[in-house]
Amino acid sequence: MAQAVLHTAKVQAMLDEPLTSWLKDSTDNPIVISSRVRLARNFKGIPFTNRNDETALTKVDTMANGLLTPLRIAYGTEFSKIDLMNLSPQERAVLVEKHLMSPNLAKVPSHRSLLVSDDSRVAVMVNEEDHLRIQAMTAGLNLHKAYEVANNIDDAIESKYDYAFHEQYGYITACPTNVGTGMRASVMLHLAGLSMTKRLDNLVNSLSQLGFSVRGLYGEGSEALGHMYQVSNQKTLGVSENDSIEALTRVVKNLVHEEEKARDDLLSKRKLDLEDRLWRAYGTLQYARRLSGEEALSLLSDVKLGQDLQLLPVSDLHMFNQLVVTTRPNFLMKMMGKSDASPDERDAYRATVIRDALRS
Amino acid sequence: MLFDDIFNDFFTKSVYPEGVLQEVQEQKCSHCGMTLSEFNRIGRFGCEHCYEELGPGVKPLIQRVQNSLTYEGKIPHRGASALKVEQQLRHLRQQLQEAVAHEKFEEAAKLRDQIKELSAKV
């Protein structure tokens, strides 16, 4: 059992809230869930995290303590530093499920921490694969805004500490796939129509040929649970941050257009099939007594599609985004107040949570 | 993980032809102790100096991964002003080439003056 540590009220609220506040921002299009920009940075003269050098890890951690004030001044809200050693494994997993940090950071908690703004839009991972991973998130498609925020944070850090920077290669990172701008911009999309019409595989292939990668809900190697896909840039050298963001924005707009076409096709050519599928999903979620995580996300995706197409009587705009978080195993167990719930117990509780949400 | 397997195999085989591998794997970073064989295994550099210290294979590796060797991004405010000018010059020269190619000679003349002016600063 992990030692129970009392968190500040802010950190506790961050762990408890089912939906990160910024996801409630209104967006123009229900297909685009969120945008994110992350910058990989390393301090000059300190070996990277993979060297596992105690002195280096401690030094970076101490430097991170010194960032709380500059970050507050640059961004305008307070930042909390969450030392991962002070979280239980389950609480760490919840932060991963909420996309505030990577599974990689949660794996080895010692010397690892997260600097997070009060509104949860900015989260800086400390001692991940690179010394710092600056992340800025927005609802909907707004990569320019996310970059602007990340860039300001980056400037604030650079005004205090020197970064490892190479004349030819730009910002130096542990992995050569990030060297240069160190920037990975990504957009989370709900592509239910393209998945149903089986047109996604072709699109994914052509996107990767164009230098964009498409991954599932939880990044590398994760499946496209609930028809959620993350599209991101691959190259970090030979292209500027702005050009990269503009190219990705164009690609996402095209994908949205294709998704809309797929939905129109379904509506005009297979309306009854579609309605039957969506109502069945709605019915199952309203009455099922046991739901696995995977089944829940797949049915929730159908219900969201029905909501977006105004085929189902669901009005709560945030229900999908919220349930995507609350039905994940660790968040669920936190709500159950049980860190060792069996899969069967979790599936029963998940079904209850979803039934309640659909009734309210 | 599958991704890592492909990645590492790619690192090893793409940069060094067979036979040469054994010899060059002894290369070691004098700053952090990362060896080329460990780098090939984990696919990560150990410190900023590895990019130079791990030898001539690094450049073609980056070229392969990124399909470029020219940095076009943000430049830190501190201590890199020469680099900023260099980046500007590169862009101007590119524009000049394009202007000439499209026979826009007035624009080309202007760009040439700008390049001259900027080069004098370096």
Q: Give this complex's ipTM.
A: 0.88
Cβ distance of B70 and A235 shorter than 8 Å? no
Q: Look at A241 and B74 and tell me if their CB atoms are within 8 Å.
A: yes
Do B71 and A177 lie within an 8 Å CB cutoff? no
Q: Which of A42, A43, A50 to mutate to test the interface with B (most CBs of B within 10 A)?
A: A50
What is the average pLDDT across B24-48?
89
**Cβ separation of B3 and A220 shorter than 8 Å?**
yes
Q: Which residues, in sequence order, are CB contacts of A119 under 8 Å at separation 6+? A: A21, A22, A77
A81 phi/psi in degrees, rounded to 5: -105, 120
The confidence score (pLDDT) of residue B1 equals 37
- In chain B, what residues touch A45 (CB-CB under 8 Å)? 48
A127 vs B22 pLDDT, higher one? A127
Does the pLDDT at position B13 exceed 60?
no
Chain B positions in Cβ-Cβ contact with residue A176 (cut-off 8 Å): 43, 45, 58, 61-62, 65-66
Q: What's the Cα-to-Cα distance from B73 to each of A103, A280, B81, rounded to whole Å?
A: 28, 50, 13
Does B62 sit within 8 Å of A238, measured CB to CB? no
Give the closest of A129, A162, A235 to B66, CB-based.
A235
Residue B47 to residue A220, Cβ atoms within 8 A: no
pLDDT at A216: 81
Task: Output the pLDDT for position B81.
Answer: 67
Q: Rounded to a whole number, what is the distance in Å from the CA of B22 to chain A's nearest CA?
A: 22
Closest partner residue to A181 among B32, B51, B73, by Cβ?
B73
A165 → closest Cβ in B2, B61, B76: B76
A-B CB pairs within 8 A amount to 116
DSSP structural state of residue A215: E
pLDDT over 90 (residue B91): no
Q: Is B65 in Cβ contact with A166 (below 8 Å)? A: no
- Which of A172, A175, A235 lies at the smallest CB-CB distance from B67? A235
Number of H helices, E strands in chain A: 14, 10
Question: Cβ of A143: how many Cβ atoms within 10 Å?
Answer: 24
DSSP 8-class letter at A161: S
Hunting for tokens 């101007």 — which residue is that? B92
Q: Name the residue in chain A with its Cα closest to that of B68.
A: A238
Of the candidates A214, A2, A212, the residue with the CA atom closest to the CA atom of residue A90 = A2
- The one-letter code for the residue type at A133 is R
Q: What is the mean pLDDT of chain B?
A: 81
Q: Along chain A (360 residues), what's the average pLDDT of each consecutive run of 10 residues?
A: 68 86 81 97 97 96 97 96 94 92 92 95 97 97 97 96 93 97 97 92 90 79 77 96 97 97 97 97 97 94 96 90 92 92 96 92
Question: In chain A, what residues touch B75 (CB-CB under 8 Å)?
Answer: 165
Residue where the block lists tokens 């990277």: A48
Sheet holding A132-139, edge to edge: A79-83, A113-117, A122-126, A132-139, A32-41, A183-190, A228-233, A212-215
For residue A70, the chain B residues in CB contact (below 8 A) are none
